[in-house]
């Protein structure tokens, strides 16, 4: 394989990219657009849950409980209702997610030391959000209940009761539990996988459709030289996209980068080579731009988004699906970026993921060269 021929093919592909501003726009603008859209739209944080109140008691005790919900950053008080029909109307219209119903004899029950039940009506159409919102509400009510018990005990001159077991949670690596701190690093592999495969999936197919593959075949250029020459321009564009994504994570989303920046770019380069080569394999097999584009989307976006551990934890998936995730390269790059970004760890911890990523890149390069045949047909 001669570098001169590789550079000649790379220059040809570079000129092709320059003549096709749509490809260049997709290569640079599309990743940034996807990062912004997913970065702001894809969030697992549940804040400012809209809630309405039906206060049947209208007592100081009920107003104190309601103030706990109004003062919490997890809830947004949308107003008061007078009956269940208004509660139903608010949930059906989407104006509110939950309703707190305080019974008429709430103050009397609290004052006499008897258990006082309050009703929480929650829209369960989004089960994940509903579960988190119920947890927030239970926390508010439990805190209020403990304070009432403490005041009652002290009023009787008794000694405050301490719980026999007290849990003191401490969160490492993402103390504020902000989902963007792990979603943004996880989005980089997904976007890179999709864009890289889409770009190179059109290269060989475009040559066949335009009839220029016959001209390339008649030259002394060998198959590996053609493959690597076509990969070079897209590799440069891909690494530029990685740089922009890292800068956006730092200055737009303010995601902390605690690990090695050099290690991040080295791992990104390995992953990018594999993703570009995978797109090249798709292009060689399909020989049609439309089919290659569709195959690239199916084989990259869906597995990378769902099976990489970005949104759904792999540990809670059924075991057959967990086995399939080992075939998804984005899984290893997501784990690498989370370790580098949030934990600040290096290859002493992430060596296994780095090795598997290297195997993926080498396998895709070898498969691309094996599939390509410098002949018609």
Mean pLDDT of 231-247: 90
The lowest-confidence range among 13-27, 52-66, 287-301 is 13-27
* 167 confidence band (pLDDT: 50, 70, 90): low
Mean pLDDT of 226-233: 86
Element (H, E) at 54: strand 49-55
Tokens 């980068």 belong to which residue? 257
Question: Does the structure show a pLDDT above 70 at 165?
Answer: no
Q: What is the pLDDT of residue 373?
A: 67
Q: Six-digit token pair at 190? A: 């997904």
* 339 confidence band (pLDDT: 50, 70, 90): very high
* 160 confidence band (pLDDT: 50, 70, 90): low
Q: How confident is the model over 171-183, as pLDDT tens digits?
A: 788 877 788 888 8
For the domain covering 49-155, report its CATH number: 3.40.1710.10
What's the whole-model pTM score?
Answer: 0.80
- What is the distance between the alpha carbons of residues 46 and 75, in angstroms, rounded to a whole number? 9
Question: Does the structure show a pLDDT above 70 at 154?
Answer: no
* 375 confidence band (pLDDT: 50, 70, 90): very low
Q: What is the pLDDT of residue 265?
A: 95
Q: How confident is the model over 271-322, as pLDDT tens digits?
A: 999 999 998 888 888 878 778 878 888 888 888 888 898 877 888 788 899 9
Can you say how many angstroms the Cα of residue 223 is from the centroid of all Cα atoms in its chain?
A: 37
Number of Cβ atoms within 10 Å of the Cβ of 126 = 13
Q: How confident is the model over 256-274, as pLDDT tens digits?
A: 899 999 999 999 999 999 9
Question: Does the structure show a pLDDT above 80 at 215?
Answer: no
More confident residue, 120 or 39: 120
- What is the distance between the alpha carbons of residues 125 and 149, in angstroms, rounded to a whole number? 35
| Domain ranges for the chain | 3-43+178-371, 49-155
Q: Which long-range contacts (CB under 8 A, 24 or more apart) does 74-77 make?
A: 74/46, 74/47, 74/48, 74/49, 74/133, 74/136, 75/48, 75/49, 75/51, 75/136, 75/137, 75/140, 76/48, 76/49, 76/50, 76/51, 77/51, 77/52, 77/53
């Amino acid at each position: 394989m001669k570098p001169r021929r590789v550079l000649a093919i790379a220059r040809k592909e570079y000129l092709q990219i320059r003549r096709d501003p749509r490809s260049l726009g997709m290569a640079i603008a599309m990743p940034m657009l996807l990062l912004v859209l997913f970065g702001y739209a894809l969030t697992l944080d549940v804040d400012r849950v809209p809630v309405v109140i039906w206060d049947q008691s209208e007592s100081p005790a009920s107003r104190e409980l309601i103030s706990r919900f109004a003062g919490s950053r997890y809830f947004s008080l949308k107003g008061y209702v007078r009956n269940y029909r208004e509660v139903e109307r608010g949930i059906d219209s989407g104006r509110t997610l939950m309703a707190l119903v305080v019974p008429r004899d709430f103050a009397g029950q609290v004052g006499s030391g008897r258990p006082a039940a309050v009703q929480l009506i929650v829209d369960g159409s989004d089960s994940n959000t509903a579960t988190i919102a119920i947890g927030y509400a239970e926390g508010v009510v439990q805190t209020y209940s403990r304070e009432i018990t403490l005041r009652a005990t002290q009023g009787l001159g008794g000694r405050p009761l301490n719980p026999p077991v007290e849990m003191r949670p401490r969160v490492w690596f993402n103390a504020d539990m902000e989902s963007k701190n792990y979603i943004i690093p996880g989005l980089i592999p997904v976007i890179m996988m999709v864009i890289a495969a889409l770009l190179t999936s059109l290269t060989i197919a475009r040559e066949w459709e335009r009839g220029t593959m016959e001209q390339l075949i008649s030259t002394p250029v060998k198959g590996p030289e053609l493959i690597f020459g076509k990969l070079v321009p897209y590799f440069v564009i891909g690494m530029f996209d990685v740089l922009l994504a890292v800068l956006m994570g730092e200055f737009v989303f303010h995601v902390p980068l605690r690990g090695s920046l050099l290690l991040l770019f080295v791992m990104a380069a390995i992953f990018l080579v594999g993703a570009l080569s995978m797109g090249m394999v798709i292009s060689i097999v399909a020989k049609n731009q439309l089919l290659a584009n569709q195959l690239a989307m199916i084989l990259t976006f869906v597995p990378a988004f769902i099976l990489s551990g970005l949104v759904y934890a792999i540990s809670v998936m059924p075991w057959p699906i967990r086995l399939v995730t080992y075939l998804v390269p984005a899984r290893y790059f997501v784990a690498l970026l989370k370790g580098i970004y949030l934990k600040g760890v290096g290859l002493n911890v992430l060596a296994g993921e780095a090795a598997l990523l290297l195997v993926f890149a080498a396998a895709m390069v070898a498969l691309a060269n094996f599939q390509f045949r410098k002949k018609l047909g």
